[in-house]
C-alpha cells in the first residue's frame, strides 16, 4: 500500500545506496528531469547496476524513464526491464496511445528476456492534454495500476504560476482523481516543492487526501514521514471502521435492515470506506483485534 513516493536522481550514487532506508513506500529513480542529456547513458547504467546489486526489499522501485519523444526511452527500457522493477513511469503522457507505445515496448523486452510477470506502468500526467485525457490514459492498458499528477510541467503548459496554495491545479487534481477512481486504479499527488515549509506540506497533503488521492510524492526525504502520517489511517479511524463492520455483522445476524452508529445511519458508502480503512491498516501492518 503506497502512501509516499520519493523522487531520487538516477545519477546520484550516494542517494541510490540509501534509497530503501528513507521510509518511503516507493522510490522513483529518475532518468528524466534529474539527469542532463550528457549524463543519460551513465545514469542509466548506474540505475541498472543499483537494481542488480543493491537490496531494495524495503520499498517499491519505480523507474521514471525519458519521454517517448526523445531518443533515450527505448534504451532506458532495454537496460531496466531485465532487472524487473515494480513499475515504469513514462513522463508527459498525453494519450492512451502514448501508454500503449510504452506498454508494447515493455512487452517486447519482457519476451526477449523471458520475463513472465508483467512490469506495470504509472503514467505521469503533466500537460493540459494529458489532464483532459486522464480517463483514457487511466484505462488504456491492464499494465496501468495508477496515474500521477506532475504539477511543475503542467503549470508551465498552462502558462500560469506554480504556487504553494495550489489553486491553479485544483481542476487538474480533481480531474485525475475522478479518472483514476472511474478506472478503479490508484492516483498520486504532485510533490510539495518547498523543502523548508513543513506545515505547508502537511496542509497540502491533507488537502490531497481529502480530494481522494491515494498518496503523495516527495522530492525530499524530509517530507516522507509527514506524508506517511497524513495518508495512514489514525487509531480513531481504525476503531470506527471496526465498529462499523461489527454492527453490520450483528445487523445481518439479527435480520435488521436499517442500522445506525453514533447517531448516524450506516449505509453502503460508509461500509465501503470502513473496509478500505481496515484494508489499508492491514497492509501497513496495523494490529487489528479479531
Q: What's the rounded Cα separation, in Å, for the pair 102 and 108?
A: 10
Tens digit of each residue's pLDDT (9 = 90 or more) over 125-172: 999 999 999 999 999 999 999 999 999 999 999 999 999 999 999 999
What local confidence, expressed as pLDDT, does residue 289 receive?
41
Task: Quick: pLDDT tens for 18-36.
Answer: 887 788 999 999 999 989 9
Please say if the pLDDT value at position 230 is more than 60. yes
d(CA 42, CA 173): 35
What is 4-231's CATH number? 3.20.20.60
The whole-chain average pLDDT of the chain stands at: 90
By mean pLDDT, which of 4-13, 48-57, 160-169, 238-247 is the weakest?
Answer: 238-247
User: What's the rounded Cα separation, in Å, for the pair 85 and 49?
Assistant: 12
Task: Say what the pLDDT of residue 286 is.
Answer: 43
Q: Is the pLDDT of residue 257 over 70?
A: no
Position 272 scores a pLDDT of 79
- Beta sheet of 87-89, edge-to-edge order: 120-121, 87-89, 60-64, 26-30, 4-9, 215-218, 186-189, 146-149, 124-125
Band (pLDDT 50/70/90 cuts) for residue 236 is: confident
Which tens digit of pLDDT belongs to each residue from 176-196?
A: 999 999 999 999 999 999 999
Give the domain ranges of the chain: 4-231, 235-283
> pLDDT digit string (tens) for 55-94?
888 889 999 999 999 999 999 999 999 999 999 999 999 9
The pLDDT assigned to 290 comes to: 36
Q: What are the tens digits of pLDDT across the range 264-280?
A: 777 777 887 878 778 77
Residue with cell 498552462: 158
Q: Select the more confidently predicted residue: 23 or 284.
A: 23
User: What pLDDT is stored for residue 1 in this prediction?
Assistant: 58
Closest to 107 in 3D by CA, of 125, 120, 98: 120
**Looking at 200-204, 215-219, 228-232, 233-237, which range is the least confident one?**
233-237
CA distance 30 to 196: 22
pLDDT at position 126 is 97
What are the pLDDT digits (tens) for 83-124? 999 999 999 999 999 999 999 999 999 999 999 999 999 999
Degrees, nearest 5: CA angle 219-46-11: 35
Amino acid at each position: 500500500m503506497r502512501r509516499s513516493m520519493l523522487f531520487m536522481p538516477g545519477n546520484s550514487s550516494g542517494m541510490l545506496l540509501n534509497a530503501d532506508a528513507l521510509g518511503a513506500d516507493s522510490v522513483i529513480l529518475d532518468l528524466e528531469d534529474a539527469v542532463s542529456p550528457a549524463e543519460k547513458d551513465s545514469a542509466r547504467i548506474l540505475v541498472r547496476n543499483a537494481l542488480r546489486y543493491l537490496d531494495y526489499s524495503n520499498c517499491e522501485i519505480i523507474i521514471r524513464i525519458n519521454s517517448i519523444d526523445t531518443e533515450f526511452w527505448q534504451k532506458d527500457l532495454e537496460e531496466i526491464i531485465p532487472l524487473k522493477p515494480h513499475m515504469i513511469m513514462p513522463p508527459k503522457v498525453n494519450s492512451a496511445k502514448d501508454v500503449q507505445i510504452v506498454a508494447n515496448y515493455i512487452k517486447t523486452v519482457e519476451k526477449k528476456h523471458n520475463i513472465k510477470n508483467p512490469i506495470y506502468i504509472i503514467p505521469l500526467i503533466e500537460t493540459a492534454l494529458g489532464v483532459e485525457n486522464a480517463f483514457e490514459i487511466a484505462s488504456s492498458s491492464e499494465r496501468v495500476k495508477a496515474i500521477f499528477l506532475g504539477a511543475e510541467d503542467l503549470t508551465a503548459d498552462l502558462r500560469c504560476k506554480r504556487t504553494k496554495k495550489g489553486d491553479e491545479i485544483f481542476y487538474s487534481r480533481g480531474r485525475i482523481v475522478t479518472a483514476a477512481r472511474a478506472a478503479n486504479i490508484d492516483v498520486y499527488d504532485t510533490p510539495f516543492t518547498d523543502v523548508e515549509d513543513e506545515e505547508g506540506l502537511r496542509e497540502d497533503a491533507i488537502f490531497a487526501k481529502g480530494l481522494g488521492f491515494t498518496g503523495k510524492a516527495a522530492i525530499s526525504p524530509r517530507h516522507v514521514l509527514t506524508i506517511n502520517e497524513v495518508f495512514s489511517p489514525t487509531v480513531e479511524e481504525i476503531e470506527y471502521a471496526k465498529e462499523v463492520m461489527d454492527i453490520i455483522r450483528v445487523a445481518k445476524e439479527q435480520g435488521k435492515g436499517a442500522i445506525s452508529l453514533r447517531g448516524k445511519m450506516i449505509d453502503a458508502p460508509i461500509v465501503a470506506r470502513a473496509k478500505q480503512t481496515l484494508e489499508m491498516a492491514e497492509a501497513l501492518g496495523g494490529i487489528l483485534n479479531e
